[in-house]
A and B are shown apart, each in its own frame.
Chain A
Amino acid sequence: MMQWLRDLMTSAPVLPPPPLGEGRGGGIGGATGSLVALKAGVPPPQPSPRGGGSNATQRAEQGETLAKQLALVIDLNVCVGCHACVTSCKQWNTSGSAGPLADERPYAANPTGTFFNRVQIYEAGAFPATETIHFPKSCLHCEDPPCVPVCPTGASYKRKEDGIVLVDYDKCIGCKYCAWACPYGARELDEERQVMTKCTLCVDRIHDEQLPKEDRKPACVKACPTGARLFGDVKDPDSEVSKAIRERGGYQLMPEWETNPANRYLPRRITSSTQELE
C-alpha cells in the first residue's frame, strides 16, 4: 500500500526504479555457471552498486541526448541463424527475479510464449542469384523511443545512465498501448503475467560486478557462436560497436519513423574470400 502512495506523491516524470540485480539466472554454459555459483556461493547475490553509490536509476526525458547508449550491433555477414541467441536470451530472462517468461502449450502442436529476441529468415534476390539472410530482431533501444511517452503509468522508461529502454513489471497494467506504439514489434505481452515484456539488454547482468568482467555482456552476445552480435556504447567513438558502425556502414531499421534506433545492423557484403569460394 505504501509504495503506491509514494508513487502518487512523487508522480511523473521521475519514478523510483525497479529493484535490479536481485536474483540471478544461471550462467550460460558450464564454465560461466560454475563461476557464478562459486562467487554467489558465499554471500547471496546483492543488488549491484551503480554510479553514485545509490541504486537511483534516472529516467531520460523525452528527446534528451544521453552521454551513453548501450546497444547491439548485428553482423548480417556472419549470422548463421542458429537461434543460440534466442534460447540463451530465454534461458537468462526466464530465470531472473521477474519470474519465468510464459511458455504456453510448449509440447503441443501450437506452442507460444514470450521471447525477447527472434531470428527471422529472408530471401533476397531472384533465383538462382538468391541470398539467405538470417535476421535477429529484438528491441532496438531507440534514442527517441515512441513506446515510452505513450505509456500511461510510466512503467515504460528509458534509463538516463545507459539508454536502455525498460519496463517496470510492477507498474505495468498490461494495456498493450506501448506495443502498438512500437513500429518494430519489439514488445511482447507475457500472457501469464499480463505485463509487457521486452529485451532488457540483460541489464541485470551487464552491470553485475559479481560476474567476471568478460561475462558482463547480454546473454545473446555471449552465446553467439559466430560473433555476429557486438555489444557496447554507441556514443563512445572508440568502442568496438562505434568502429564497426563507422567502418562497415551500420544502419538503422525503419529510419523513416525517426525513432533513431540504437541497435544497428551491418549490411552483407561480398568480400574477396567469398568471391573466391564462388
Chain B
Amino acid sequence: MHPAFSILFFTTLAGAAQGLVFALALAVLFGLELAPGFLGLALGVAEVLLAAGLAASFMHLGRKTRAWRAVLMWRTSWMSREVIVLPAFIALVALWWLSLRAGLGAPWSWLLPLLALGGALLLWYCTAMIYACLRFIEEWAHPLTIVNFTLIGLSSGLVLACAMAALAGEARFLQVFGPFALAATLAAWAARATALRRNAGIRHKSTLQSATGIRTQKLVQKSMGMSAGSFNTREFFHGASLAVLGNMKLGFLLLAFVLPAFLLAWGLTVGGALPWVLAALVQAPGLLAERWFFFAQARHPQNLYYQVVS
C-alpha cells in the first residue's frame, strides 16, 4: 500500500494523545497526587494532538465538506465507528479539562477519567479494526494489528506523559509511571517484532493464477492495460526500493523502541529531565516510520493485476 501521510500523522498523533490521556486517567483513578496545573496542561496537550490528528484525517478525504456523512454506517463500517468515537473522545477529554477548571468534585472527578480511559481503548480498537478487518490484506488481518496500535499508542503516550512530568517536576508521577512507560515500550517492541516475523512468513493466498483463473505454472503479465499509471498503481504501491524498506524497518525499531527504552532506563536509574525529554523526541520520528512501514509492507492482492506497463 502507498502510505498516506494524512493517515500516518492521524494515527500516530491520536495514538500518543490516547496513551497520554490513558496514563493521566489511571493516575487520577488511583489517587496519585498531581498538581492541578500539570493535569490541566497535559490534558491540553492531548487535545492539541487530537485536534491535529483530526485535521490530518480530514486531509485524507477527497470531499472534506461531506465528512459528516461518515457517521452513518456505524452498523457495518469500522471507519464509521472510528469517526463517531474520535470526536466523542475529544469531547470527553475537553469535558474532563473543563471539569478541572470548574473544580467539580465527585462523581465527575472519577467518572470523566474513567470514561476517557474507556474512550481511549475503544478508539484504539476502532482504528486498528479498520485495517484488521480487511481479510485479504493478510499483513493486517490479524489480532496483532490491534495489539500493536494499542501498545504503540500506550508507549508513546506514556513516554510523552513522563517527559512532561519530568519537565514539570512531578516526581511521584515519574516514579510510578516511569517503569510503566519502559514496560509499555518493551511490550510494544516485542509485539511489533512478532508481527514483523509473522508478516515475513506470510504465503499470500492469492496468486496470479487465482487472480486470473489461468491455471498454468508459468504465467506472466505482459500489460496491465495502460501505458502510464492509474489510481491502482498510485494507491496500492509504495514505490520505494527494498533498501529504503529495510532502512525504514531498522529505523523504526531503533527510534520507536530500542533507543527510547535505553533512554527510559537511563531516566529511571539516573534521574533528571533530560533522558525523558530525549526519549519523547527520539520516539516521534520512529512512530511515523513505524506507521509508514505498516502501510508499505501490506501487499494488496490487486497488485497482482498491475505488474507490467506496456
Please measure, in the bound complex, the distance between the C-alpha atom of A12 and the C-alpha atom of B68, giving whole angstroms. 14
Contacts of A194 in B (CB 8 A): 62-63
Q: Does A13 contact B (CB under 8 A)?
A: yes
User: Cβ of B225 and Cβ of A175 under 8 Å apart?
Assistant: no
Q: Does B175 contact A (CB under 8 A)?
A: no
- Contact indicator per residue, chain A 254-265, by CB within 8 Å of chain B (1) or not (0): 111100000001
Interface of B is mostly: loop
User: Cβ of B222 and Cβ of A257 under 8 Å apart?
Assistant: no
Please measure, in the bound complex, the distance between the C-alpha atom of A92 and the C-alpha atom of B236, giving whole angstroms. 27
User: Cβ of A173 and Cβ of B302 under 8 Å apart?
Assistant: no
Please measure, in the bound complex, the distance between the C-alpha atom of A76 and the C-alpha atom of B229, giving whole angstroms. 25
User: Cβ of B72 and Cβ of A124 under 8 Å apart?
Assistant: no
User: Cβ of B63 and Cβ of A195 under 8 Å apart?
Assistant: yes
User: Cβ of B211 and Cβ of A153 under 8 Å apart?
Assistant: no
Q: Does A230 contact B (CB under 8 A)?
A: no
B303 to chain A, nearest CB (A): 8
User: Cβ of B133 and Cβ of A150 under 8 Å apart?
Assistant: yes
Q: Which residues 185-225 of A have a CB within 8 angstroms of B?
A: 185, 187-189, 191, 194-195
Known: A150-B76, A191-B231, A253-B213. A180 touches B1 (CB 8 A): yes
Interface of A is mostly: loop
User: Cβ of B213 and Cβ of A265 under 8 Å apart?
Assistant: yes
Please measure, in the bound complex, the distance between the C-alpha atom of A183 and the C-alpha atom of B212, giving whole angstroms. 12
Please measure, in the bound complex, the distance between the C-alpha atom of A86 and the C-alpha atom of B220, giving whole angstroms. 22
B34-42, B78-86, B96-104 - interface stretch: B78-86
Contact among A132, A180, A253 for B222, CB-based, below 8 A = A132
Q: Which residues of A are at the interface with B, using a C-beta cutoff of 8 A?
A: 4, 7-8, 11-13, 15, 62, 76, 83, 86, 109-115, 118-126, 131-133, 135, 137, 146, 148-155, 171-177, 179-185, 187-189, 191, 194-195, 251-257, 265, 267-268
Q: Name 17 A/B residue pairs within 8 A (Cβ), A-sorted.
A: A12-B72, A15-B72, A109-B228, A112-B226, A118-B224, A121-B222, A124-B216, A146-B136, A152-B69, A152-B79, A153-B72, A171-B69, A173-B66, A176-B60, A177-B79, A253-B212, A254-B301
Additional 8 contacts, C-beta under 8 A, given A151-B77, A152-B70, A189-B231: A62-B76, A120-B305, A148-B76, A177-B77, A179-B231, A188-B231, A195-B63, A257-B135
Give 3 closest A-B pairs by Cβ, nearest first: A174-B62, A194-B62, A185-B302
